Amino acid sequence: MARTSKKQTALKFRGEWEYAPAPESKDHIRLEKKYGLFINGKFSEPRSGKYFDSVNPADETLLASVAEAGAEDVDLAVTAARSAYEKTWSKMPARERGKYIYRIARLMQERARELAIIESMDGGKPIRESRDIDIPLAAAHFFYYAGWADKLEYAVPGRTAGPLGVAGQIIPWNFPLLMAAWKIAPALAAGNTVVIKPAETTPLTALKLAEIIRDADLPSGVVNIITGAGSTGSALVNHPGIQKVAFTGSTEVGKMIQKTLAGTDKKYTLELGGKAANIIFEDAAIDQAVEGIINGIFFNQGHVCCAGSRLFVQEPVAAKVIRKLKDRMETLLVGDPLDKNTDVGAINSKAQLDKIHKYLKIGVNEGGEMYQTSCKLPSRGFWCRPTLFTDVSQSSRIVQEEIFGPVLSVQTFRTVEEAIEKANNIPYGLSGGVWTDKGSKIFRVTSQIRAGVIWANTYNKFDPVSPFGGYKESGMGREGGLHGLLPYIQTYSN
Ligand code: NAP
Ligand code: MG
């Protein structure tokens, strides 16, 4: 059957076998019209007097007005965290600290459905993902690090471990609650207190987490959640009262933060951008690989630092893989994030959609062959069709730069060496994937790719016990597991 007629068949099939809508109910969701800053255990109006809007990117409706912390507010939050550190948290028996962290995890589980729905409303990701991945993993991180609280001596055998003080933490919009969990849980387990700033477009689950922290009776000031934009983040990084900065976001901002911190005694970890290579060898289980590639790039609209945005296919199977990818892309359901059938939700913001469109133009202008699925997009909100580029070169900007959208570029290779060389020829090194039937090839390729995480015959698998982080411009330091605990402790000789 000719290629175009396959696509028509897929469309016809879709028309005849349309899934009935299965929207998640949001009747029970309670959002305040206006949210203050969570400082010293309670919500309060910002001294700055300023607020900004958080909208639903799927329909551009206003969800809530949120306080914008100014320098004075940041100072209040850091002062509250310092006082809680000195008076309560660092003095509390470690077992008691652990109990509080467990309690937060349990309360998150109790409110999991509500958190998942708010995550999808505020950020645009499909409910299937927020329900099955973001929220359970966020709770799992709190459970995992709660277990470490009274075992710090085992983290650094032969030495005594202690906290650093106040941690200033800044997170992005792609996994809002999960990133908050990655940051807060290890900091608390090690005995630090926290001031955290969520991203401007997705502050709502962090504010719900503030309610949970309050309900868990965590001593006031141990966790402070301050909303705002880049200037709030910058004021936090520059505040002299913090001892540690943990940042997840773009390489551009990460580099600025690193410059700011040079010469200070603040410790820092940076989790930055990525441009992962997925490599399919001719001996791979092709259908399984295609499913993994689709998951790797279209999952969460490609708003994933470890998204498999570059695909390298061994030449003999390239035509087959590309045809299968296009067929599978055509069946992806793009639309309402709250619909349980949805595969690809809304792009997080207008600014991010503009950035993706800019790259699509660059890709075409550079001579790439662009393929987009034919799905109908909703009339309101921010949407992008799943997109695939062929005929791209190693130097193409869409191959070298992080797009952070549902855009996959495909290149071919002949030998294992060529695949490794092409995969490594990039400033980033966060993650990667290899698809092959041969265990020996897996070991050879994974040991030579300069990336923090490499999946074999699967993709995007996470667990609180596994460390995660980048090589090269993808950052420094690790989060998750024992590795994620160490940046929050200092050690003394016994
Ligand atoms: P971003 O623009 O760098 O923002 C990240 C956070 O930093 C946001 O809270 C942002 O606030 C804040 N910020 C902006 N300017 C700042 C400044 N000058 N000083 C201090 N803080 C500042 O990144 P993004 O667009 O939100 O997120 C996407 C990026 O995150 C991608 O590059 C992705 O690869 C990366 N990421 C990495 C990982 C990882 O583990 N390596 C995980 C997830 C995402 P506002 O949003 O309010 O402006
Ligand atoms: Mg929003």
254 Cα nearest atom in ligand 1: 3
Ligand 1 proximity of 200 Cβ (cutoff 6 Å): yes
249 C-alpha to ligand 1 centroid (Å): 3
427: amino acid identity, one letter: P
pLDDT for residue 18:
77
User: In which band, very low, low, confident or very high, does the pLDDT at 10 lie, cut at 50, 70 and 90?
Assistant: low
Looking at the predicted structure, is the pLDDT value of residue 402 above 80?
yes
Atom of ligand 1 nearest to the CA of 274: 34
Mutational test site, ligand 1, from 195, 248, 352, max ligand atoms within 8 Å of CB: 248
> Does ligand 1 come within 6 angstroms of the Cβ of 180?
no
Q: What is the distance of C-alpha 69 from the center of its chain?
A: 23
d(Cα 237, Cα 167) in Å, to the nearest integer? 10
Cα separation, 409 vs 332, in Å, equals: 18
Can you tell me which atom of ligand 1 is nearest the CA of 468? 40
Ligand 1 pocket mutation pick from 170, 257, 347, 402 by most atoms within 8 angstroms of CB: 170
Measured from the CA of 271, which atom of ligand 1 is nearest?
41
Mean pLDDT value across residues 65-89? 98
Q: Where in the chain is the domain with CATH 3.40.605.10?
A: 34-272+474-493
The ligand placed nearest to the CA atom of residue 203 is 2
Nearest to 174 by CA among 52, 305, 79: 305
Instruction: Look at residue 269 in the predicted model and tell me its pLDDT.
Output: 98
Which residue in 197, 269, 328 sits closest to 486, CA to CA? Answer: 269
Fold entry, domain 277-464: Aldehyde Dehydrogenase; Chain A, domain 2 (3.40.309)
Locate tokens 């550079």: which residue? 366
Assess whether the C-beta atom of 170 lies below 6 angstroms from ligand 1. yes
Cβ contacts of residue 265 below 8 Å, gap of 6+?
Answer: 243
Q: Is pLDDT of 154 > 50? A: yes
Strands 62-67 and 159-163: unpaired
- Residue 11's pLDDT is 57
Residues identified as active-site: 271, 305
Contact 193, 200 (CB under 8 A): no
Is any atom of ligand 1 closer than 6 Å to the C-beta of 261?
no
Task: Compute the distance from residue 250 Cα to the ligand 1 centre, in Å.
Answer: 5
**8 pLDDT higher than 90:** no
Using the mean position of ligand 1's atoms as its centre, give its distance from the Cα of residue 223 in Å: 20
What is the whole-number distance in angstroms between the Cα of residue 205 and the centre of ligand 2? 10
| Average pLDDT value over all residues in the chain | 96
Is there an atom of ligand 1 within 6 Å of 249 CB? yes
- Which of 201, 134, 177, 198 shows the shortest CA–CA distance to 349? 201
Question: Is there an atom of ligand 1 within 6 Å of 256 CB?
Answer: yes
Cite the residue boundaries of each domain of the chain with CATH code 3.40.309.10.
Answer: 277-464
Long-range pairs of 126-134 with CB within 8 A, sequence gap ≥ 24: 126/300, 126/337, 126/339, 126/342, 126/343, 126/344, 126/345, 127/24, 127/337, 127/338, 127/339, 127/340, 127/342, 128/340, 128/342, 129/299, 129/300, 129/345, 131/24, 133/178, 133/462, 134/175, 134/177, 134/178
Choice from 250, 259, 300 to test ligand 1 binding pocket (greatest atom count within 8 A of CB): 250
| pLDDT tier, 5 (very low <50, low <70, confident <90, very high otherwise) | low
Residue 451's pLDDT is what? 97
3-state secondary structure 325-388: HHHHHHCCCECCCCECCCCECCCCCHHHHHHHHHHHHHHHHCCCEEEECCCCCCCCCCCCCCEE
What is the arithmetic mean of pLDDT over 392-407?
A: 98
Read off the pLDDT of each residue in 315-338 and give the average, rounded to a whole number.
97
- Pick the range with the lowest mean pLDDT from 13-27, 86-100, 296-310: 13-27
Encoded tokens for 402: 């992080």
Supply the residue whose CA is at minimum distance from atom 14 of ligand 1: 230
Q: Is ligand 1 within 6 A of the CB of residue 253?
A: yes
Contact 297, 309 (CB under 8 A): yes
Least confident of 15-19, 52-56, 125-129, 445-449: 15-19
- The pTM assigned to this predicted structure is 0.96
pLDDT at residue 2 in the model = 45
Q: Please give the average per-residue pLDDT across 54-63, as a whole number.
A: 98
294 lines ligand 1 (CB under 6 A): no
CA distances in angstroms from 371 to 107, 323, 329, 364, 377, listed in the order given: 45, 11, 10, 10, 16
* Closest residue CA from atom 26 of ligand 1: 172
Q: Among 52, 231, 272, name the best residue to mutate to test ligand 1's pocket (greatest count of ligand atoms within 8 A of Cβ).
A: 272
Task: Please say whether the structural domain 34-272+474-493 has been given the CATH code 1.10.3720.10.
Answer: no
Q: How remote is the CA of residue 251 from the centroid of ligand 1, in Å?
A: 8
| Site of tokens 């509080």 | 100
Counting atoms of ligand 1 from 1, which one is nearest the CA of 474?
41
pLDDT of residue 7: 58
Whose C-alpha lies nearest to ligand 1, atom 22? 230
How would residue 61 be classed by pLDDT, with cut points 50, 70 and 90? very high
18-54 pLDDT, tens digit each: 789 999 999 999 999 999 999 999 999 999 999 999 9
Q: From the CB of 173, is ligand 1 less than 6 Å away?
A: yes
pLDDT at residue 370 above 90? yes
For helices 112-123 and 176-189, angle between their N-to-C axes, nearest 10 degrees? 130
